[in-house]
């Protein structure tokens, strides 16, 4: 039904935001005032595909990882799913491909740009305790290669930017972006 693409620096808080958003969307879908079709919310991440952070150390090993993510995404996209793709998604051309695949299935799309300063992301990468830190060379390289999403291009739009200081994601606006015109809001005639 929808594809939500998360993008941001390595260790900038993408997974954290993906989980926040999933919880919000599930709460809405469970709410008694929700009368739309039955939908499930799924997160697809590098971890689900056992993609090691080491693959980002060079572009040769990164390519097959990206292809695996794209294949899994295509498999999981459907009319009854809100799919959140929680990965770096840092290449403009890759986000364009994802957008095209989603639009082919007539899914709604939006992009969440998770923002942290380079200094903070670096610090969080160094101190993370979950064994998912990026090797420092790969980390620095990804910062240099990162291609910021832009609301000026259709494949990144609508774009929601979530700065690190924000407690939460703009879940109401995101919900609206993916459901407006398809799912009747509560108490609307």
Interacting residues toward ligand ADP by CB under 6 A: 8, 10-16, 124, 128, 164
Q: Provide, rounded to whole angstroms, the least separation between the CB of residue 187 and ligand ADP.
A: 35
User: How far is C-alpha 179 from the geometric centre of its chain's CA atoms?
Assistant: 17
φ, ψ (nearest 5 deg) of residue 107: -85, 150
Nearer to ligand ADP (CB atom), residue 27 or residue 128: 128
Distances (CA, A) of 43 to 128, 143, 186: 21, 24, 26
Nearer to ligand ADP (CB atom), residue 99 or residue 113: 113
Nearer to ligand ADP (CB atom), residue 78 or residue 141: 141
Q: Provide, rounded to whole angstroms, the least separation between the CB of residue 167 and ligand ADP.
A: 9
Q: Provide, rounded to whole angstroms, the least separation between the CB of residue 15 and ligand ADP.
A: 3
Nearer to ligand ADP (CB atom), residue 108 or residue 139: 139
Is 125 in contact with 100 (CB distance < 8 Å)? no
Tell me which residue has its CB nearest to ligand ADP: 13
Q: Provide, rounded to whole angstroms, the least separation between the CB of residue 44 and ligand ADP.
A: 13
Nearer to ligand ADP (CB atom), residue 128 or residue 184: 128
User: How far is C-alpha 60 from the geometric centre of its chain's CA atoms?
Assistant: 23
Smallest CA-to-CA distance from 167 within 45, 28, 24 is with 24
Tell me the chain's radius of gyration from C-alpha atoms: 16
Q: Provide, rounded to whole angstroms, the least separation between the CB of residue 134 and ligand ADP.
A: 8
SS3 1: coil
Smallest CA-to-CA distance from 180 within 161, 158, 152 is with 158
Is 8 in contact with 134 (CB distance < 8 Å)? no
Nearer to ligand ADP (CB atom), residue 96 or residue 164: 164
Q: Provide, rounded to whole angstroms, the least separation between the CB of residue 80 and ligand ADP.
A: 26
């Amino acid at each position: 039904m929808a594809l939500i693409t998360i993008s941001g620096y390595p260790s900038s808080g993408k997974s954290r935001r993906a989980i926040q958003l999933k919880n919000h969307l599930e709460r809405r879908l469970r709410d008694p005032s929700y009368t739309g079709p039955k939908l499930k919310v799924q997160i697809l991440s590098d971890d689900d595909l056992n993609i090691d952070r080491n693959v980002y150390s060079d572009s040769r090993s990164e390519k097959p990882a990206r292809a695996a993510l794209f294949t899994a995404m295509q498999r999981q996209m459907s009319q009854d799913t809100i799919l959140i793709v929680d990965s770096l998604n840092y290449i403009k051309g890759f986000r364009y491909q994802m957008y095209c695949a989603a639009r082919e299935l007539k899914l709604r799309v939006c992009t969440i740009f998770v923002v942290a300063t380079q200094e903070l992301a670096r610090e969080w990468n160094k101190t993370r305790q979950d064994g998912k830190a990026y090797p420092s060379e790969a980390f620095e390289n990804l910062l240099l290669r990162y291609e910021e999403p832009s609301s000026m291009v259709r494949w990144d739009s609508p774009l929601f930017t979530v700065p690190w200081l924000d407690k939460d994601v703009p879940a109401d606006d995101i919900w609206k972006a993916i459901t407006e015109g398809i799912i009747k809001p509560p108490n609307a005639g």
